[in-house]
A and B are shown apart, each in its own frame.
Chain A
Amino acid sequence: MSIQPKDATILVVEDNAQNFVLITRLLAFLGVKRCEWKASGWQVLEFAETLPHIDLILMDIFLPEEDGYQVHEKLRAHPRFKDTLIVAVSADVSTENMERARKAGFDGFIGKPIDPDRFPNQIRSILQGEEVWQLD
């Protein structure tokens, strides 16, 4: 279940364009070549279905339209994304929120603002099948 960053396709659901740019830059630094962007919670599933392959979804929680939990629920209900890695990326860095994400069925949690020093390693770990639950 270990995926090399260069082979990975990652979908970033993030409403802030600059955050997305920062994330993609860091992912590129890590070696990720295929990175897709969805800028709201609207029709994420429909968008994801158009992609031939997804290894990891980085999901913001505060999103316009539907929030991260609703989107996550819809994705999980679809047989294709039942087991896809979905990691919450949230500015709400309370333990409560993290526990909620864990209960909802997310595969990991990364607190915002993302730390450029650590983020690449966090993603690498996740792709290698390790769990990452970090508030800061």
Chain B
Amino acid sequence: MSVMAGVTERPRIPTTGMRGGLGRTLLTAFLVLAIVPLSTMTWYATRRERHDIQREVTAKLSSVATVTETYIRRWIEYHSGELALLAALPDTQRIILKLAEGSKTAASTGSTQEETARAELNARLRALMEHDTAFQYLALLDASDRVLASVTSESRGDSPCSGESGTWRSALTVEQTITAPEEGAKVLAKLVGQLDPCALVRDVEQLNGLGTTGEVYLVDRYGTILSRGQKVSSPGIEAALNGQDSEGLSYNYLGTPVIGVYRWLPELEVALATEQSQEEAFASTDNVTAAVVAATLVVAMVTSIIAAVVTRQITRPIVQLTESALNIAYGDMEQYVHVRSRDEIGILAYVFNHMAAELKALYDDLEEKVAQRTALLQKANYQIQRRAIQLATTVEVSQAATSILEPEQLLREVVRLVQESFYSYLYVGIYLLDEQKQQVVLNESRGGSKELAALKSRPVPVGDSSVIGQAALAGEPRIVKWDAEQAQALFSTPFVRAEAALPLKMREQVIGVLDILSTEEEDFDADDISVLQNVANQITIALENARIYVTEREAARRLRELDRSKRRFLVNMSHELRTPLTNIIGFSRLMLKGIDGPLNEQQERDLHIIYHNGQHLLGLINDLLDISQIEAGLMELEFREVNLGDLINSVMATASALVRGKDIELRQELQPELPPVQADAARLRQVLLRLLANAAKFTERGHITVRSWVDDDHVLVSVSDTGIGIPPEDQERIFEQFEQGSLENGRRPEGAGLGLALSKEFIEMHGGHIWVESQVGVGSTFIFTLPLRRTLSTGGTQ
């Protein structure tokens, strides 16, 4: 980790995890290598051991079984022998014969001789029973199996050793036949002895020598252990009960794992089981196993320690190498690995250090070469970039020329663009020709010190010795180069090396000069000048545009001002004209009402004339003002939702005064539920009132009808009369200003024809149309439409 110390800012390398991984792998390998063969060998040895022991124990058990089998046979034979011995005694024979004789002759019991013989026999049998405790019952039977005498042991009775098998019982019954000496083989009587099975079983079970857990026992054919009366079942016993001898690993009546040998004794109908618990039998192998496992653990522990040490020994240098390699990968070439060992890892570290040093050298060399090549490439690119920047500047200047219309702002932006395009352009200024055309004056500049700016702000006479004066005079670019001394003297800075002055020319007339100071001597070659002249031309055009814009803006401002004064004039006119007129109308009406006292007929007629002409003049002035406002584009309609039915009703109420004194009927035919329209209610009312007034004016008798209905997306309103009618040639003309119907009939209707022209204007401002359908002598119908959805309005806004 010490190698990492210097490069903490880099991403942390997870070497700790790597080291642990390698160590673990090695440790595991060591452990596996040490433990697996050891375990395998142990397992194999234990297995062999067990196998041998099992075989040995089985052989031992088998011999015990054979011994026991033999013992049982001998035991029966022995006791049979005891009985035979008794039978063979001459005294016994004599007694038996006597008893047998007695039984044969008749059933004459109670003979004294017999009684005596019986008592004697009984004594002998009892003596035998006392001598040989294995006998439970002794009896003498005659040839026809009648009991002649019997002795029974006190212990006789049902015992668990008796079992349930009759064969077992009968096998334990011994008999000795007694034949008459003179009659050859004729059986006179039988001496029968029954042996105590418990005695046999007890003897058998005591016959052992099989260690502490060795057992021998007998099982009857129903699986009952004879000494215990307990049922038992195990593969070995099952096999034995089926008449087959067997041996091997099994379980005893307690469920303990045992090694057993099982025999079937057919003559006794019992199975003989000899068993020894596996635990005891294999005790020696278990000890061996425990020892081996302990040894394995010790080995594992020792191996682990050794493995840990070895692993650490191996991995530490590898980890160091890895960290160094990673550092190189991250770009840190300064790597040296300290490994002292002289093994392969030591060699690897040495080689690594060598490689790292080589790599660093190569890398440094490469960087140097890259730097060289980059410099070359930069040089080569410089010219291309220069052209590109110049081109971009030209484009930007041209964009500024078309987008900026304020001359000051434009010059500021152009000067900024040119000066910022090249770092070597110390100063950029634009001079414009003054009104006397004798000198150019600095209008905008950028860059340079305050002193330089002050020096450059002086006006330059056209044609003086400076590049600016020369360029302004000749209309050609002028370039001059300065050394440090000259620069210091002229511009109070030693860094200026070249100056270019480019004329701003408009139609061969010089209007100014673009002046540039550069810190690079080579800055103004032919290509540069060509591009800069292009920029200068753009500036000229832009300046011209800006000048035109300013002029036009001024013109527009004046026009707006004119409009405002016109509107003011109209409003004032309206007020000034109407105020006296309303007074004329008001006071004449006042007099007509007799408020100022009674009037004679003549006065009243004259006043009527004043009053009516006043009214007419007022109407005319109102119309004139409306027309003027429309034409000045000052008329604004107030669009609101208007209920046409209500509007017509209210107009009709007013119109009733118009037909007073005439034989005219006012009719109204409206489609039910007219939809609302978007309209200026006051103007619409004005139009309707005019149409009704016109109809009333030209109709003497008949009727005037207002209709309204919906057609597609329009509402139509018509005013029909039964008046004089309008000839076809006049039907369009009447909607023009100051035109009226034909005067050929000699009648000259009162008033100028502004009303219909105004109505036409209003309807069209609503987006509708107005026209007339008429027949001379029959009547006229004026119809106008209103769009249900207002789409356009000319000359006005809401």
The CB with the most chain B CB atoms within 10 A, among A95, A96, A135, is that of: A95
Quick check: is A117 within 8 A (CB to CB) of the other chain?
A: yes
Contact between B583 and A19, CB atoms less than 8 A apart: yes
**With contacts A16-B579, A113-B582 known, is A26 near B590, CB below 8 A?**
yes
In the A-B complex, list the 6 residue pairs whose CB atoms are closest, starting with the nearest. A113-B582, A116-B589, A29-B595, A22-B586, A18-B583, A116-B590
Q: Mark B161-175, 1 if CB is under 8 A from A, else 0.
A: 000000000000000
Contact between A26 and B585, CB atoms less than 8 A apart: no
Identify which of residues 100-118 in chain A touch chain B, using a CB-to-CB cut-off of 8 Å. 112-117
Quick check: is A25 within 8 A (CB to CB) of the other chain?
A: yes
B789 / chain A contacts, CB cutoff of 8 Å: none
Cα–Cα distance between A28 and B586 once the two chains are bound (Å):
15
Identify which of residues 670-691 in chain B touch chain A, using a CB-to-CB cut-off of 8 Å. 681-682
Complex A-B: 14 CB contacts under 8 Å: A16-B579, A18-B583, A19-B582, A22-B583, A22-B590, A28-B595, A94-B638, A94-B682, A95-B681, A112-B582, A113-B582, A113-B586, A116-B593, A116-B595
Taking the closest CB of chain A, its distance from the CB of B643, in whole angstroms, is 14
Residues of B with Cβ closer than 8 Å to A?
575, 578-579, 582-583, 585-587, 589-590, 593, 595-596, 638, 681-682
Contact between A117 and B589, CB atoms less than 8 A apart: yes
**With contacts A94-B638, A95-B682 known, is A29 near B593, CB below 8 A?**
yes
Taking the closest CB of chain A, its distance from the CB of B515, in whole angstroms, is 61
Cα–Cα distance between A112 and B587 once the two chains are bound (Å):
14
Cα–Cα distance between A19 and B582 once the two chains are bound (Å):
9
Contact between B682 and A26, CB atoms less than 8 A apart: no
Cα–Cα distance between A19 and B638 once the two chains are bound (Å):
29
Residue of A nearest to B590 (CB): A116
Taking the closest CB of chain A, its distance from the CB of B300, in whole angstroms, is 103
Residue of A nearest to B574 (CB): A91
Residue of B nearest to A18 (CB): B583
A116 / chain B contacts, CB cutoff of 8 Å: 586, 589-590, 593, 595
Of B578, B593, B681, the residue contacting A113 (CB under 8 A) is: B578
Cα–Cα distance between A26 and B586 once the two chains are bound (Å):
10
A113 / chain B contacts, CB cutoff of 8 Å: 578, 582, 585-586
Residue of A nearest to B583 (CB): A18
The CB with the most chain B CB atoms within 10 A, among A29, A113, A115, is that of: A113
Taking the closest CB of chain A, its distance from the CB of B684, in whole angstroms, is 13
Q: Mark A56-67, 1 if CB is under 8 A from B, else 0.
A: 000000000000
Contact between B638 and A26, CB atoms less than 8 A apart: no
Contact between B595 and A26, CB atoms less than 8 A apart: yes
Cα–Cα distance between A95 and B680 once the two chains are bound (Å):
11
Of B578, B596, B638, the residue contacting A95 (CB under 8 A) is: B638
The CB with the most chain B CB atoms within 10 A, among A22, A29, A116, A135, is that of: A116
- A sample of 7 more A-B contacts (CB under 8 A), given A26-B590, A113-B582, is A18-B587, A26-B595, A91-B578, A94-B638, A95-B681, A115-B589, A116-B595
Cα–Cα distance between A105 and B596 once the two chains are bound (Å):
35
Residue of A nearest to B654 (CB): A136
Contact between A22 and B579, CB atoms less than 8 A apart: no
B590 / chain A contacts, CB cutoff of 8 Å: 22, 25-26, 116
Cα–Cα distance between A29 and B578 once the two chains are bound (Å):
25
Taking the closest CB of chain B, its distance from the CB of A67, in whole angstroms, is 15
B583 / chain A contacts, CB cutoff of 8 Å: 18-19, 22
Taking the closest CB of chain A, its distance from the CB of B689, in whole angstroms, is 11
Contact between B638 and A22, CB atoms less than 8 A apart: no
Taking the closest CB of chain A, its distance from the CB of B771, in whole angstroms, is 29
Contact between B587 and A22, CB atoms less than 8 A apart: yes
